[in-house]
Structure 1
C-alpha cells in the first residue's frame, strides 16, 4: 500500500518512514502542507498520515483538499493537538481516524492496518 506521511518534525517523520517501510508499505514524505498537496496531485495514495500543525498550509486545509478529491485516500490525523475540538473538526472534515502524539507504534500500526483493510 502507498502511504503519504505529512509532518514537519524529523523526529516523527523519519522513524515513521522506517516503521511503515518495514511493515511493507511504499512511503512518501512531505514536510509542509504545500508538499503534501503537490504529492497528492502527482499520484494516488491509499492512506495519508497527517499532522495538523504544519508550516504554510495547515493540516485542516490539507484535509479539506484531500477529501475534495474523488476518490480520496483515507486519512489518519496524527497530531499533538489532542483537544476534543480538534478531533471533532478533523472527523467532520472527513478524517477516518485521529491519534494524539505521543503514540505507541503498535497502536499506530494496528490503526493503519484497520484503515487499509476497510478498503
Structure 2
C-alpha cells in the first residue's frame, strides 16, 4: 500500500513516515499544498494523510479538487484538537476520517487500516490470496500448501500489487510508480529483476500460480495446470 503524507510540520511528517514504513507501507511525503495536489493527481496512492493548514494550497482545497476529479482515494485529515468546524467541513467535502493532533500511533494505524478496509483493498487478516498462494502483508511471508518463505519488502510490495489487481494487467509504469514513486529514475530492468525473483520463489513453492508477461503491456497473474 502506498501512502502520501501532506504535512508542513517537517518533524511530524518525517516521524509519521518512519512509523508507516515500519508497518511495511510505502510512503511519500511533501510539505506544502501544491506539491500535495500534484502528487495526488498522479493517481498512484492508496491513502492520503492530509493536514488542513498548509502553505500554498490548504488541505480543504486539495480535498475538494481531488474529489471533483473523481479521485476516491481514502483521505484522513490531520486536524488541531479543537477544530470541530474543520472536521465537519472536511467530512462534508469527502474526507473518510480525521485524527486530532496530538494523536497516538496506535489510533492512527487503526484508522488507516479501517479506511483501507472500506476501500476494499485490505483483508482483515492481512492475507491476500490467489489460486494456491497466500501473502501475509504484515509478515511478508508467502505460502503455498505446506511450504512457506519470507519475501524481501520490494518483492512483497510487487506481489501485493499484482494480487490486488488480480486478473488485470499491471504495466511496468504502474509498478514503478507504486513501488518507487512517480519521480524516480528507476528503469524497467529493475522491475524485470524483481519479477524474476518472484517467479523463482513461486517455482520453489511448487505453486500453480505464474506471472505472465503480456508483451509491450505488462504482467498478470495466471493459474496453470
Whether TM exceeds 0.5 here: the answer is yes
TM-score, with normalisation over the residues of structure 1?
0.94
The DSSP-based 3-state class of the residue aligned with 2:41 is helix
Residue range with higher mean Cα deviation, 41-50 or 96-105: 41-50
Bigger relative contact order, structure 1 or 2 (CA pairs below 8 A, ≥6 apart): 1
CA change 1:71–1:86 in 2 (3 A) is: closer
For structure 2, list consecutive stretches of 5 or more residues without a partner in the other structure.
120-225
TM-score, with normalisation over the residues of structure 2?
0.51
Report deviation, 1:41: 2.2
The DSSP-based 3-state class of the residue aligned with 2:56 is coil
Residue range with higher mean Cα deviation, 75-84 or 42-51: 75-84
Alignment of 1:1-119 (within 5 A): 1-80=1-80, 82-119=82-119
Q: How many residues align?
A: 119
Report deviation, 1:81: 5.8
CA change 1:81–1:67 in 2 (3 A) is: farther
The one-character-per-residue Cα deviations of 1:86-114 (angstroms, maximum 9, x if unpaired) are 11100000000011100000000000011
Residues of 1 paired with 2:30 and 2:69: CA distance? 18
Residue range with higher mean Cα deviation, 66-75 or 98-107: 66-75
The DSSP-based 3-state class of the residue aligned with 1:42 is coil
The one-character-per-residue Cα deviations of 1:26-76 (angstroms, maximum 9, x if unpaired) are 111111110011111234211100000000110110111121232421000
Residues of 2 paired with 1:28 and 1:63: CA distance? 18
For structure 1, list consecutive stretches of 5 or more residues without a partner in the other structure.
none
The DSSP-based 3-state class of the residue aligned with 1:19 is helix
The DSSP-based 3-state class of the residue aligned with 2:98 is strand
Q: Which runs of 4+ in 1 moved over 3 A?
A: none
Q: 8 Å contact 1:74–1:95 — kept in the other structure?
A: yes
The DSSP-based 3-state class of the residue aligned with 2:114 is helix
- The CA RMSD over aligned residues, in Å, is 1.2
